[in-house]
Amino acid sequence: MAKATDDTPQALSIAVLTVSDTRSEADDTSGHYLVEALQEAGHRCAAKAIVIDDIYRIRAQLSAWIVDEEVNAVLITGGTGFSGRDSTPEAVRPLFDKDIDGFGELFRALSYKEIGSSTVQSRAVAGFANDTVIFCMPGSTGACRTAWTGLLREQLDSSHRPCNFVGVLNVRGRDA
């Protein structure tokens, strides 16, 4: 990751994980949206994968990325609801060194404006693991768009003021 000047946006290497028992690369609209959005914002897609909704497969993929010094952030879509095998929060929370409580709170506030009380069924979570910031959002493309445009785009932008998570990544020891 190259060091940014005061106002020069800093490109991050971001991995995208889709958690789904039914999606394939051909119909992973949420994952594709996130890749396109992060690239349009000047970031690099470090990796993209799809795993079934299984706690241990989610943890295995996420663990590989959080030990990879080239991955600064991970965006996870899917598995955050209450139905069936939804288990993304249970898979990722034990890996967090620190929770980002405000992400889920603010995501649901933004989502409420779009889908009303149905947003209570979202268990969007975020945190840091091994100096990597991780955001987990619902599997719909609309939810990913809400998270990206309402929160992630700015918080992954090193020029966003008064603060952003890129600054935290630099403070936490990443080469900047």
* The pairing of beta strand 44-51 with beta strand 98-99: unpaired
Residues 76, 139 contacting (CB under 8 angstroms): no
Q: Map out the domains of the chain as residue ranges.
A: 13-171
Class of domain 13-171 (CATH, top level): alpha beta
**pLDDT tens column, 48-77:** 999 999 999 999 999 999 999 999 999 999
Specify the pLDDT at position 171.
Answer: 41
Tens digits of per-residue pLDDT, 15-42? 999 999 999 999 999 999 999 999 999 9
Kindly report the length of the chain: 176
Please check whether residue 79 is in contact with residue 87, taking contact to mean a CB–CB distance below 8 angstroms. yes
Task: Indicate the helix (H) or strand (E) that contains 73.
Answer: strand 73-77
* pLDDT of amino acid 121: 92
